[in-house]
Each structure stands twice: as C-alpha cells, then as structure tokens.
Chain A
Amino acid sequence: MSLVRLHDLTLGYERRPAVHHLDGAFDEARVTAVVGPNGSGKSTLLKGLAGALAPLSGRVDRSGLKPNQIAYLPQDHGVDRDFPMTIGELVGLGLWGRRGLFGAVTHQDRHRIEDAMSAVGLSGFEDRALGSVSGGQLQRALFARVLVQDARLILLDEPFTALDARTTDDLIALVKRWPSEGRTVVMVLHDLDMVRDTCADTLLLAREKVSWAPTEQALAPENLLTARRLSEAWSDGAGICHRDHAA
C-alpha cells in the first residue's frame, strides 16, 4: 500500500522546474532511495514531500499525514552551531509535534529522549553545547531527534555525508529497522553499494523519472546512463513547458 502518491508533480524555484512531471508512489513500510546526478532534483523532491516547498504544478497526496508525522532531515540541516542550546535540548525538539507550544514534557518524554540518545551512541552528551560537538556527533543527535519524533514518514537527504564508517554503520542499522516498525523511509543517497544494501526500492531521478522500481532493476546500467544524459540537458534559456498546457 502506498503512503505518499505523486500526481504529475513539478517542483522548482522561480518557475523553473527542478523535478519535472513526476508520477508514482512511495510504498508504506519500505525504504526507497532517491538517486541521481547532481542537480537532478533529489533534494527538491524531499523538500516537496516534507511540505517545505509548494508544487509549481501537480500535487503530493500524503494520505492525510500531519506535519508532525513527517520527520525531515535536510542535507543543509540549518542548525546554528552557535545557538545557546544543549544536545539534549536539540533532541527534545523532536517532541514538538506531540507537545506543541504549551504541553508539559513528561517523565516518559525524558525517557524517550534518553533512549534515542543511547540508540545513536550519544549517552552522556545531553548537557554538551551544540558548538562543542563534532559534525558526526551532531548528525547522530539529529538522528536521535528523528527517533524522538516517532514519525510515520522519514525523509533523509544525504544523511551519511562526511560521517565515519562506524557512525554510518550505526545509523544504517537504525534505518534498516524502521520498516519493521511500520515507518516509510525516503532517503537521498550517492553510494550505490549502500543503496543496494539498504533500500528495497529506488527512484532514479534526472529532473524526470528515469526509473522507479525495485533497486536492482532501477540501477540497471542503461538507466544510469540515461540519467546522466538527461541531467546534462539543462538549459538556461528554457521556454514555457507545453506539457502543463496539454494536461
């Protein structure tokens, strides 16, 4: 069963499409990789799935998911390292969806934060300042926040970039567990070996859909070649897209 359906979805900036006329569905309780060359619209697609970017045309059907049931970890995470906040408080932001502006943080919530920090190997880091931890440790904390969010749809944009092998292995183990908990994961990745190892399905994107299928099928050599060719067909002098008018 699909959790998120895309209907002729075009996403972009200043009327220029970065994702062009995309149709398809993300199945529930599966891990789907989004793969493609630089500039192929992967991050834009995740932004659109998260609801952080409105479509230029078409629509995203999220099966009625509320914003707090979606966890989104962007590539450029936007956390200000100078902000006077502890790692524990950052992880605690994941409670936002359930507790809102005024809800009290319960004993159970505190346990949830502790458990999440322990799951990513950050026990004892609760009181450390944001600016005092490494990039990898901050990424672990952001994963812990995703755990605290307890979301049904999890969107991860290149979550393992610049992480060491141990951290990557630990976090991948978490991701692999999520489908069995009924969570749907969409993850932008570059490492094709990692995609084959971790993701049941793959969407190969080059602004348009090249292939959206079980991973081995999607990553067939001819598809990869097509993706490379399409992404290089970008034009600065592009005119109006007539497919919009035909639709």
Chain B
Amino acid sequence: MDRNQIAKWLKSPAKMANKYSLHAVYFCTGCGIIEIPPVITTRWDAERFGIIPVATPRQGNLFMITGYVSLKTLKAIIRTYEQMPDPKYTVGFGSCPINGGMYWDSYNTIKHLDRYIPVDGWIAGCMPRPEAVFIAITHLWTLIDKGKADGYLRYQENYAAYRRNQEMLFAELEWPPLYPCDSIAEEARK
C-alpha cells in the first residue's frame, strides 16, 4: 500500500475500497469491445488497477460503453445501467458514444449518449489504445477522490429529464413509470 494514502484510507475507507476495486460490466457494444480482451488479460492486465470484468450488472460498478449505440442497444444500456448498484461510474469509450462519430447521419444510431444516461468520463479516439483505458481509470480515481464522479447522483436528481429524453426515442417503454417521477415528468414536458 502507498504510505501517502494512509490518511485517506483512515478518513474514508469505504470510498477508497470502492475506488480500487472497480468491477466492469462486460457489456459489448460496437467495435470497441475488441480492445477490452487485451486490457483485461495478461498483455495489459487490468487487475493491476483492481479492475475485473463481472458477469452481471448487479455485481458491477463500472460501465464502459465501447462503441456506437444503436436504438436497440440503447434500450439494453438503460436497463443495464439501472440494474447496477450505487455507486456506479459510466465511461464512454471511443468517439461514437461522444457525438455519433462516423454514424452522425445514421437513421438508427444515437448521437449523444449523455442525453440518455449520465456519463462520468470519456475516452476519445477511434479506437483508443488500451493504455488510454488506464489513463481514464486513473482520472476516474481522481474524480472519485474529489467526489466529482457523481453520475449516479445526477441521474437521481435529473431523472425526469433523462426519462423524457428516453421516451422521446421509445414511445412505448416497456418498464413501468416510477411513482414520484410521474408528476415531475409531466411538468418537464410542459
């Protein structure tokens, strides 16, 4: 253990433990997922940074969106994100989730991921190298330290707005509306 961090560990052990054991949801989207196997296996070995992939979203707290997001995938992403326990962190990987990338004029691909679910950080590039993943993770550590990786809190605060954007794409969401948000969503629509 780094001796310089002992004070931090004593001050908020839960936060530090959470920070150094990121469990990535193994969710494959688009072409970016091709960079993830080298990241988690011996060549770059993400476990040095405490990251392991997990099988289900209910065990994970790091969600990497690794490529273009089609409408059908967006539906799955929203469901997956809502199943993850707090605190949870989302990272957009590659240029497609940031602004659509080369799918800017596509009839079936969304442009800005952060209008549907909150995103804590972006990795730009097409494709980003595996090293970029680790740079992003160290940045995410800094954000967690400073309390700025608060996407899950922003999702709770602005749920009505996120839900409105989701419903603009999917007229018939198949999951039921949440109780307190109904009236807020009505106001937001007006």
Question: Does B bind A?
Answer: no
Chain B residues near A (Cβ < 8 Å)? none
Chain A residues near B (Cβ < 8 Å)? none
